[in-house]
Amino acid sequence: MQDLLWLIPALPLLGFLVLFATEGRLPDKMVGVIGAGSVGLAALVALVVGLDFHQSGQPSYAQNLWTWMAVGGFAPAVTLYLDDLSLVMTGVITGVGFLIHVFATGYMWQDLDEPSSRDAAPKARKEGYSRFFAYMNLFVFAMLMLVLGDNLLTLFLGWEGVGLCSYLLIGFYHRDAANGYAARKAFVVTRVGDTLMALGLFLLFREIGTLEIQSALAKAGELDAGMATAIGLLLLGGAVGKSAQVPLQTWLPDAMAGPTPVSALIHAATMVTAGVYLIARMKGIYALSETAQLAVAVVGLATLFISSFTALAQTDIKRILAYSTMSQIGYMFMALGVGAWSAAIFHLMTHAFFKALLFLASGSVILALHHEQDIFKMGGLWRKLPVPFYSMLIGSGALVALPWVTSGFFSKDAILLTAYGHGEYGWLFWLGGVAAATMTALYTTRMMVVAFFGETKIEPHDRSRINMWGPLAVLSALSVFGGYLGIGILDDLLGAVDHIPHSHPAAIATMLLPLLGILVGVFVFSGRLDIRALVDSSLGDALRRFWHSGWAFDWVYDHAFVKPFVWAARVNKADAVDFVYRAVAAVTRGFYHIGALTQTGRLRWYAANMTIGLILMFLIVLEML
Amino acid sequence: MAIAVPIEYVLGVAMLLFLLGLLGVLVRRNVMFLLMSLEVMMNAAGLAFIAAGARWGVPDGQIMFMFILALAAAEVAVALGLVLQISRRFGTLDIDAANELSG
Amino acid sequence: MNADLLLFWIPAAVAVVSTFLVVTRKNASHALVYLVVSLLSVAVIFFVLGAPFAAALEVVIYAGAIVVLFLFVVMMLNLGRSSVLRESRWLQPGMWIGPGILVVVLFLSMVYVLAGSVHETKGVMVGPDAVGRSLFGPYLLAVELAGFLLLAALVGAYHLGRRYLEERRETPAGSGDD
């Protein structure tokens, strides 16, 4: 059964090709069936293949499809490679992806029906529905190639493919220029990381002579320490760009311009975790370099710290979730940095469950409120929108890692406790992580309390049917029980996490501090504890605005890169490089004018010139000239 | 009947005829004379071929002459049609009037 | 000098003189008659060189068919006395200088090449029999190509000539020249 592996990426690709070729001429129902069905079938195949793989007991399974190209000694093959890591990733991508696709069949249907929708014209609506699923299927295909490729070249192909789909889907409502700007920003910022990653790949190829992951890792021992550090840092650059970590995180909040299922699938569950996958995949390189591994941990810590404070000051529900995504991925990076590889992947999986749940539930809320995303304009929704509310509640519980009852607890706990025991300064990482976890509890409570309790401000219209609340229910269940799933299966697959016991004081603190955050949050945001004076003080206001702007990263980048670039472009409007080409053209034109003088159109003049030429040839032949 | 002639003499005569034709092409402005001069030049080339064939006593020279003949016939047919068009369009046979291809 | 060579020199002299007259005549009909003389004398040279079939073709096709074509066109264009006057206007004596120099230089260089060596021809007759065997043997492909060329010329000449005639019919007053 394992040889069905190629079907997993092939099915979404087929779905994409069908939807792409028919250009929205298919009935909407069939579009939904093809779009979600192709991913669903892929999930089914993944399940079958995964079980078979698990039973076979082999460490890995490779399926060679064809040789991409053969140039000299360089012959990268397109080979699908299945091991524990890629199996977990494939399961998340196809499984969570399928649920999100099913949700999207309902969400996009209603969304494109909205009078306020920018694609309201019937034809555009139909076309938009089909286009959406075509892009989504293409994304799933690219993401699967990313995780299943046994070659860094295939991985890079998928890497750029998901970047492209991200760009296309952020700018899905392309009639609004702001969305196009957000899409461009995401594309350009991740491009910075991708360039670093490409450089890392070049360096790796030059040093080791292969891009095949397994043989590259086997030969990695030949690298000297400096080179391993350089490659590790360059690959980290790529991961940072894709996973929206500091300092390349600024694109993710703007990426929320896309439809909410896109945010759930691409910008929470799968694509943004590609960086985590990359580093986990290349852990052999990082094992060689203390510096690179430390850098991973520091990046993760900085991101989770910065973004959890930023989330506290946001008012847009999707932006809050975007910043929380950044901080959760920060945990994963920190886990990678402290050597808790399997904990990172564990958290990746549970995060995919609960963050997809949170995004989809918030999507239901947004849809019911006719595209109102400001939590301060919501309120009192918990009675009116029970399914989204309970989904959000479960997702939030997992996000703040409520002890023992949510999946997020197990994975986050594993990360923090491993960090605590890691080396001399491990407790610093632990401290930062726990502080950020407390902040996470605070802003999540704020979001829940403000949006779902208090007085009703907008009357919601919930039109969701089973294709929308069904995925929510499944994801809720996964968010609760996914932790046991992880303990049971993941340890088996990826190796148990070795961390300090739960009876340790630090472990108890890790458990209790988020609860404190929730307590404070409930008191503060339900108005029972008045801190208005503190917030409105000049320092508080400045801090709030600083956090709201995402620690002013956008401002800094705008002044450091965008403005100087625009200035340079304006100064160089005439393009100094073009001058050379224009000069070439001018010289050519000059010769043309000279040559045109001989074209008199007079036949006898031509004949005379031919005669002169004949004479000259004679003289040359006779060696008189 | 055939006699042995030094080939240089024949080639000299062919050259002379060719150059007279060239002179006509260069000097005459009337298209009719131009075409006649061209015929003279081709005929001279044919003479050179015949001479070369006679030098070795093989038929190839005559065959080349026949191809020149076919070429001349084809050329004259098209060229005379063009002469009619030129006289129709420009109202004159002056080849210098038909200089619309000037750069 | 061998007396036999007179058989070559006499037609050669006639050919050169008559060709010179072709180039210098002002009346097209006169020039055509001199062209016929030139072609006929070249035919004699062919015969002397031992190419009787080529000589016959020269007479039949060149002096016959091609020159007759020229004559038809001269008649159609109605080149009369006025065209002779115009020719003398066009043919200023000064116009001969430049082309004359070029031609003389070419002639001198050719003489330089040919001077000094003597290679006699075989002096044998190569009759139509040998020519035909060769033509439809090794040169068959070239014959086919020549056939294509003639067909193309036929179509081209028909195309050009028909438009001329149609336009003339529509505007009977226009003679096309003068």
Lowest-pLDDT range of A231-240, A416-425, B13-22: A416-425
Q: What φ, ψ does residue A527 adopt, rounded to 5°? A: 90, 5
Mutation target for B interface from A593, A602, A611, A612: give the one with most B CBs within 10 A.
A602
- Neighbouring-strand partners of residue A271: none
| pLDDT > 50? residue C178 | no
Query: Is pLDDT above 80 for A5?
Result: yes
Average pLDDT score over residue span A6-18:
91
List the single best residue of C25, C49, C69, C102 to mutate versus B (max B Cβ within 10 A): C49
Q: How confident is the model at residue A167 (pLDDT cuts 50, 70, 90)?
A: very high
- Among B2, B29, B87, beta carbon nearest to C77: B87
Per-window interface: B 48-67 vs C, CB < 8 A: 50-51, 53-63, 65-67
Confidence of residue A491 (pLDDT cuts 50, 70, 90): low
**Of residues B62, A310, A506, the one with CA closest to residue C124:** B62
User: For the residues C122-129, what does the mean pLDDT come to?
Assistant: 85
> Is the model's pLDDT at C76 over the cut of 60?
yes
d(CA A69, CA A58) in angstroms, rounded, equals 29
Q: What is the dihedral of CA A516, A519, A520, A526, to 10 degrees?
A: 170
Range 65-104 of C in CB contact (< 8 A) with A: 98-99, 102-103
ipTM of the complex: 0.91
Q: Which residue has the higher pLDDT, B98 or A47?
A: A47
Helix axes B7-27, C6-24, angle to 10 degrees: 10
Q: Which of A196, A217, A201, A226 is nearest to A289 (CA)?
A: A226
DSSP β-bridge partners for residue A452: none
Amino acid found at A246: V
Q: Is the pLDDT assigned to residue A372 strictly greater than 80?
A: yes
- Among A176-180, A517-521, C100-104, the range with the most confident prediction by mean pLDDT is C100-104
Of residues A608, A612, A618, nearest to C109 (C-beta): A618
B contacts of C176 (beta carbons < 8 Å): 84, 87-88, 91
pLDDT of C170 over the 80 cut: no
Mean pLDDT confidence for A486-501: 63
The pLDDT assigned to A456 comes to 81
The residue that leads in pLDDT, A551 or A137, is A137
Q: How far apart are CA A64 and CA A45, in angstroms?
A: 18
pLDDT the model gives residue C177:
44
pLDDT at C152 over 90: yes
pLDDT for A369 equals: 85
The DSSP annotation for chain B comes to -----BHHHHHHHHHHHHHHHHHHHHH--BHHHHHHHHHHHHHHHHHHHHHHHHHHT-THHHHHHHHHHHHHHHHHHHHHHHHHHHHHHHSS-BGGG--TT--
User: Contact, A84 vs A489, CB < 8 A?
Assistant: no
Rounded Cα distance between A563 and A552, Å, is 15
Q: Is B38 on the interface with C (CB under 8 A)?
A: no
* CA A582 to the chain's CA centroid: 43
Mean pLDDT value of segment A222-229: 85
Lowest model confidence (mean pLDDT) among A119-123, A182-186, A394-398: A119-123
Residue A461 confidence (pLDDT) above 90: no
Yes or no, beta carbons of A608 and C103 under 8 Å apart: no
Question: Do C109 and A611 count as a contact with CB atoms less than 8 A apart?
Answer: no
**A108-122, A279-293, A299-313, A532-546, range with the lowest pLDDT:** A108-122
C111 touches chain A (CB under 8 A): no
What pLDDT score was predicted for residue C176?
44
Residue A623 pLDDT level (bands cut at 50, 70, 90):
confident
Read off the pLDDT of each residue in A212-232 and give the average, rounded to a whole number: 86
> How many residues are present in chain C?
178
- Integer Cα distance of A286 and A282 in angstroms: 7
CB contact at 8 A, A76 and A154: yes
Percent of chain B surpassing pLDDT 90: 54
Q: In the predicted model, what is the mean pLDDT of residues A115-139? A: 71
Average pLDDT over residues C138-157: 93
Which chains form contacts with chain C, at 3 or more CB pairs under 8 Å?
A, B
Lowest average pLDDT, out of A68-72, A90-94, A332-336, C135-139, goes to A68-72
Phi/psi for A149 (5° steps) reads -65, 135
CA–CA gap between residue A606 and residue C1 (Å, rounded)? 42
pLDDT at A80 over 70: yes
Sequence-distant (6+) residues with CB within 8 A of A4 are: A45, A48, A49
Size of interface A-C (CB pairs under 8 A): 20
Choice among A215-224, A254-263, A561-570 with the minimum mean pLDDT? A215-224
Residue of B30, B32, B37, B92 whose CA lies nearest to C88: B30
Interface probe with C: pick from A606, A612, A615, most Cβ of C within 10 Å:
A615
Q: Are A456 and A368 in contact (CB under 8 A)?
A: no
Q: Measured between alpha carbons, how far is C172 from A367 in angstroms, rounded to an integer?
A: 85
How far is the first Cα of chain A from the last one, in angstroms, to the nearest whole number? 83
Q: Fill in the DSSP letter of residue A8.
A: H
CB A322 within 8 A of CB A252: yes
- A374-387 tens-digit pLDDT: 888 887 888 888 88
- Does A297 have pLDDT greater than 50? yes
Q: Which residue has the tokens 């139909």?
A: A126
Contact state of B93 with C177 under an 8 Å Cβ cutoff: yes
Q: What is the mean pLDDT of residues A573-602?
A: 88
The DSSP code sequence of A78-146 is EEEEEEHHHHHHHHHHHHHHHHHHHHHHHHHHHHHH-TT-TT-SHHHHHHHHHHHHHHHHHHHHHHHHH
